[in-house]
Amino acid sequence: MPEFIPVIKKHEIQRQILRIAETITTDYQGRELVLIGVLKGAFLFLADLARELKLEKVKIDFLQASSYGADTVSSENIVMKKDIDVDIRGKDVLVVEDIVDTGLTLAYLINHLKRYGPRSIKVCAMIDKSERRKAAIKVDYACTTVENGFLVGYGLDYAEDYRNLPEIYHMKL
């Protein structure tokens, strides 16, 4: 049986989302923002963040790259599974990720999105796991930082399970 150690409580997630939402609201005031959620892990985070942005015009879209599957080690072979539908040419884009670990997924996605000619691209992540970073990625807005460990809950899965847990746990197999 895996062991689940609570890492980030529900109220702390909410508090951190309010904090970054306030900064994002200030930074994008008077501009039209496109939030691009990275499926599937960012779905709850994006839903909670989007509700707290006090901006007049926010568009939302999703894309999906290859994920961990049943493994707990980041893949370096990234495949695009679902692209965006919204036209982002000349728009301000904020990529919304669950966890940035090696940064390879995000580096791939940012390169992909740049080809559509957005005005700007920034990155917002629920968790910045910087210890294993391989790609030169800047996380512009992060709720929290963790050193290492495999996390589940609040959108994060292990073999597609545990995404519905309301808080974030360190899973020990």
Catalytic residues, by residue number, are 101
Which residue lies nearer to ligand 5GP by CB, 17 or 100? 100
To ligand 5GP, the closest distance from the beta carbon of 121 in angstroms equals 16
Which residue lies nearer to ligand 5GP by CB, 28 or 153? 153
Q: Which residues contact 73 (CB under 8 A, 6 or more apart)?
A: none
Do 149 and 130 meet the contact criterion of CB atoms below 8 Å apart? no
Which residue lies nearer to ligand 5GP by CB, 28 or 125? 125
Binders of ligand 5GP among residues 23 to 82 (CB under 6 A) are 38, 41, 67-68, 74
To ligand 5GP, the closest distance from the beta carbon of 26 in angstroms equals 26
Tokens 């790259």 belong to 65
Which residue lies nearer to ligand 5GP by CB, 25 or 149? 149
Q: Determine which residue in the list 139, 152, 165, 168 makes contact with ligand 5GP, applying CB under 6 A.
A: 152
> Would you call the peptide bond into 9 cis, given omega within 30 degrees of 0 as the criterion?
no
| Strands 3-8 and 58-65, sheet pairing | unpaired
Binding mask 82-121 for ligand 5GP (x = CB under 6 A): ---------------xxxxxxxxxx---------------
To ligand 5GP, the closest distance from the beta carbon of 12 in angstroms equals 17
Per the structure block, which two tokens stand in for 66? 């290859």
- Could you tell me which residues are beta bridge partners of residue 58? 33
To the nearest 10°, report the CA torsion of 55, 154, 170, 131.
-30
| Binding footprint of ligand 5GP, residue count (CB under 6 A) | 22
**Among residues 33, 62, 11, which one has the least CA distance to residue 122?**
33
Do 169 and 152 meet the contact criterion of CB atoms below 8 Å apart? yes
Which positions lie near ligand 5GP, rule CB under 6 A? Answer: 38, 41, 67-68, 74, 97-106, 129, 150-152, 156-158
